[in-house]
Structures are given as structure tokens and as C-alpha cells.
Amino acid sequence: MTGTRPRAPERVLPERVPGLNALAAGLSSGAPDVARFLPDPPTLAAVSARATHVRERFRLAPRPGAAPEHADLADGRAVAVVAGQQVGALTGPLLTLVKAAAAIGLARDLSRDVPAAPLFWCAGEDHDLVEVSRLPLPSPGGPRDAGPDAGPLLGNRKPVGALPVGVDLEFAAQLLGEGAGAPECPLDVETLLALSRGRSYHEAFVASMRWLLPDPQLRFTDAARREDKPALVPLAVRLVRERQAVRRLLEERAEALVAAGHRLQVTTEPRALPLFAILGGERLLLREEGGRLALKGGPEGETFDPEEVVARFESGEWLPSFSALTRPLAASVLFPVAAAILGPAEIAYWAQSHPLFGWAGILPPVLLPRPMAAFVDPTSASLLDRSGLTLEALLQGREEVLRSHGSGRAGGILSALERLRADNARELDALREPLLEVDPTLARPLQATRQNLDFALSKLLEKASAAAGRADETFARQVDRLLLSLLPGGQLAERVYGPLPYLARYGREGLVGALLSQLDWSLPGVQEVRL
């Protein structure tokens, strides 16, 4: 069906998003099998109530060592709305900006009741250098990575934030031109590239985010900041001394999640602690070996008495660094976190780690699923209008879109096939009693024949629908263009591309202005952002 008027911007509800884990889909709706693991409703009222309580702890005992720009957080005068991401090249995928925009929006609304600041947690201690250096760019054949060869980066154990940006920026600019033509906003492209030249990943990330989102309220904190480590040592010490209790809590929660049908986001080796030590410039996992502790990747055979590990943390010889399951605790040790804006995978691992808040004596923040953004350019918007297609339909994939279209286009033959399928089943059912009178052992062959015929006809029906859709070449081309633009590689473009190709075409204001003006932090699922 061809659209006759421009569509209103679309929203796809979480339960209609294919592949979204049940924890993320159910958090916003309060589904019982999710609420038992993540009990706080993701509402402004819940965040406001939590803010009153979390700031009190910091009022009574202000945290020393905080950065000057976070002094109001450290002494409880304000609360934090936290979002976070790895310090990816050129800010990483667009979902980084989406998270920050959602945090800005929630903090703004929360500030009507309680002083609040959006705080972006830069995961500069992560050592996955392959991930932070990926830089996919559009090309006629789909995403093309301008990042460096991944092979030599796989063994990295150094926190990535302090490492120099390892992406060939001139090569990236060349690939961008090859894939999308000469940029319409070359000054914005050059500005973003220039912000990474001669800088570390963390420095480039923060500088780029500040330029892209020049909101004076948005703040940044680095997980690797040395001045914050003394405040985190007591948490690390407890994780060492009470490792058996921590392991038991995490195992019990994992078993409960699996029993409820949820897949575990984080799986770790049984002997590992949810804790790293940074020493000699490397981030090494602690694990237990026969009652003693060892550093994975450290000197072969070297082990430590647990109290020796404690002493090294307390002396500052080793710096504590936290795993995905304990990182949420670290943020709430450092800041009065009233709310955390989380993506689907983050929601899943927070569900695993949630019992540790009670163990640590920390009130957890309210968790809010981040909105997902579908950035729709004018050409794609026009195609959606003309074709009558929706984002929800496209999310189902190419074959399903073509099948649905073909069902309408070739309704007569498809209806005949459906009737044939029903008639075969009915006639075989009618033969059941006469056949059993001949020989009772024919029951199973009859049932197998019925199932095989039904399966074969249903597959023929499915293939005929898709073929009818493909036969409409104009429609198929429209689908392919939309998928290439909005869902490259089968994922929303926000998970694939960074801001660079959008800056080239629309400039900073065209991209970020659209995001900030159209994104609603309170609406989970996929939101259409028209460029």
C-alpha cells in the first residue's frame, strides 16, 4: 500500500523489537519475571525518590579526592544521572550520543525536584583495544571498517583510555569520501577528526563529546582516574576478603535468572574474582588458586596470600579496577547515583550484579532502559512515505518484509495454497479411522505423512510469498535501500556507525540538534529521529 501523506515519526515498543532480551523488554513494562530481579520502576517519580536517599549518604560523609567539577556530587548537593560507554574512536557508535542525550534529558527533568547532573562514565580502564578502535563507515556494499588490523591488538592488557588513538584518520576520511562522496559539511568533519589527532582515546573521546554535545550540564568522569582510587580501595578489599560470599551471591542470582528463562550476559571462569588490579601499566584479572590469589597474565606460578593482595591495594602499589559485575558498585561509591541509563546488554548484566548492592550496603540507582534511535535521513523518510513501510516492519528483516508484501500482491495463488494445505489436512484426518481398521500400526505413518505434507506446503507458501515480493523489483529495491541506510548488517545504524558520516552530510547541528530535540528519554523502544 502506497502512503498518501507523510508519516508521523514512528516509535516501536520494546516488545516489538526483534532480538531484544526479555530483561530489557520487560523492565519498562514491569513484567513480573523482570521486576523480581530489577524491582524499581523506571519512572521519574522513582528516580526523584531515590535521589533524596542517595544524596544523604554523601551529605553525611563527603567523599575526598573528587575532581573540582564534581564537588557538588561528592558532598551530596546534587545527584548524578549516569550513562557510560567505552572511549571509542571518534566517540564510537551513535548510541553513545543517544545515551548522553537521554541522561541530559532525565537530569533536566529531575532537577525540577532535586539538583541533578548528567554524568558520563568513560570506561577508559577497559583493555579491549579491538572494540574501541573500530570505525565502520558506509559504502555501497554495507559497512566498511576504517579501523586498524585487529590481530595485533587482541593481546592488549593496557587500559585503552591512556593509549594514543590508533586509527588512521586520513584513511578514514578517504573511505568516507569513497562511500558517501564529498562531504557537504567538511568543516564539521575536519573538526571531529582534529579532536583525535595527537590525543589519547580518553582525551579524544571527551573533547569530541564536549564539541558534539555542548551542554554545560554534561560532565565526564574517567574510570581510570587515579585520584578516585583511594575511595574504591575499601570495596576492593571487601571483594578480596569476602570473595566466597560474593561468588555465592552471584551464582545464586545466575541460577535464578536462568531458571526464569533469561540468558546470562556475563559468564566468567569459576575461579575469577570480579576484580582487576592495575600494575605496571596493565589491567590483570584476579583469580583464586588453591586458597591463594593469582594475576591472570602475570608471572607464571606467582601467587599471593589474600592479605598480601589487600596490602598492595591499601598501599597504592596496585590500583583496583572493577569488572562488569562490580563496576555499578564503584560508580555509586564515588557518586550519589540516582539513575543509570542502560542499554539492553547493560540491563542484563545489572540484573546479575544487583544483589551485590545489598551486600555492599549501597542503595542502587533506578535503572532506565535507554531509548534506541533510528536516524532517518530525508531520502529514507521519503521512501518510507511512498512505500507504506514502517520501521517495525523493517526490523523483521528483508525476507519477512518481502513475504508480507508478496502476500498482498499474490493473494489469489497464496490463498489457493492455503486452502490446499487445509484440505489435505482435513482429508487425511478423515482417512484415519478407515486406515486404523485396516491396520492399527498405520497411525504413526499417517501422522508423519500429515506433518510432512503440512510442512512442505507451508514452506512452499512462505517461498511463494517471498518470491512475489521479490518479483516487485521496485519495492525490493526500496527495501534494500532502506535496510542499507537504517539497518546496516541487520542492526540499527546507531549500533554500527559513529557520528562521522552524519556530520559529513548534515553537520553537527543537523545531527545533534535533531537528536536533542526529538529524543524522549522516557520512551523505551525505538524512536525515529528525522534528520
**pLDDT tier at 244, thresholds 50, 70, 90:** very high
* Grid cell locating 490: 541487520
**pLDDT tier at 8, thresholds 50, 70, 90:** confident
Of 42 and 2, the one with more pLDDT: 42
**Residue 407 in this model has a pLDDT that exceeds 80:** no
With cell 529524543, the residue in question is 519
Among 75-89, 368-382, 391-405, 482-496, the minimum mean pLDDT is found in 391-405
Beta-carbon contacts of 525 under 8 Å, excluding residues fewer than 6 positions away, are: 11, 12, 13, 14, 16, 17, 28, 371, 372
Among 23-32, 82-91, 211-220, 415-424, the minimum mean pLDDT is found in 415-424
**Residue 347 in this model has a pLDDT that exceeds 80:** yes
| Mean predicted confidence (pLDDT) in 98-119 | 98
Q: What is the pLDDT of residue 478?
A: 92
**pLDDT tier at 470, thresholds 50, 70, 90:** low
Q: What is the pLDDT of residue 414?
A: 63
| Mean predicted confidence (pLDDT) in 475-483 | 92
The fraction of the chain above a pLDDT of 90, given in percent, is 80
With cell 571462569, the residue in question is 269
**pLDDT tier at 517, thresholds 50, 70, 90:** very high
Among 183-197, 227-241, 265-279, 408-422, the minimum mean pLDDT is found in 408-422
Q: What angle do CA 6, 531, 100 make, to 5 degrees?
A: 130
**Residue 39 in this model has a pLDDT that exceeds 50:** yes
pTM over 0.85: yes
Instruction: Please provide the average confidence, as pLDDT, over all residues in the chain.
Output: 93
| Mean predicted confidence (pLDDT) in 363-372 | 98
Beta-carbon contacts of 155 under 8 Å, excluding residues fewer than 6 positions away, are: none
Q: What angle do CA 42, 48, 50 make, to 5 degrees?
A: 80
Which CATH number is 21-230+326-373's, of 3.10.50, 3.40.30, 1.10.3470, 3.40.50? 3.40.50
**Residue 369 in this model has a pLDDT that exceeds 70:** yes
| Mean predicted confidence (pLDDT) in 508-521 | 98
Residues 226, 185: Cα–Cα separation, whole Å: 39
Among 154-168, 430-444, 506-520, the minimum mean pLDDT is found in 430-444
**pLDDT tier at 2, thresholds 50, 70, 90:** very low
Q: What is the pLDDT of residue 300?
A: 87
Among 159-173, 210-224, 384-398, 471-485, the minimum mean pLDDT is found in 471-485
**Residue 197 in this model has a pLDDT that exceeds 50:** yes
| Mean predicted confidence (pLDDT) in 203-227 | 98
**Residue 234 in this model has a pLDDT that exceeds 80:** yes
| Mean predicted confidence (pLDDT) in 125-152 | 96
Q: What is the pLDDT of residue 460?
A: 79
**Residue 4 in this model has a pLDDT that exceeds 60:** no
Closest CA to 121 of 217, 203, 219, 208: 219
**Residue 101 in this model has a pLDDT that exceeds 90:** yes
Q: What is the pLDDT of residue 439?
A: 82
Long-range contacts, 248-257 (Cβ 8 Å, 24+): 249/355, 249/356, 249/359, 250/274, 250/325, 250/352, 250/353, 250/355, 250/356, 252/355, 253/37, 253/351, 253/352, 253/353, 253/354, 253/355, 254/352, 256/37, 257/37, 257/351, 257/352
**Residue 411 in this model has a pLDDT that exceeds 70:** no
Of 439 and 133, the one with more pLDDT: 133
The fraction of the chain above a pLDDT of 70, given in percent, is 96
Q: What is the pLDDT of residue 182?
A: 87
Q: What is the pLDDT of residue 3?
A: 45
Q: What is the pLDDT of residue 154?
A: 96
DSSP 510: I
Number of helices (H), then strands (E), in the chain = 24, 15
**pLDDT tier at 408, thresholds 50, 70, 90:** low
**pLDDT tier at 435, thresholds 50, 70, 90:** confident
| Mean predicted confidence (pLDDT) in 306-328 | 98
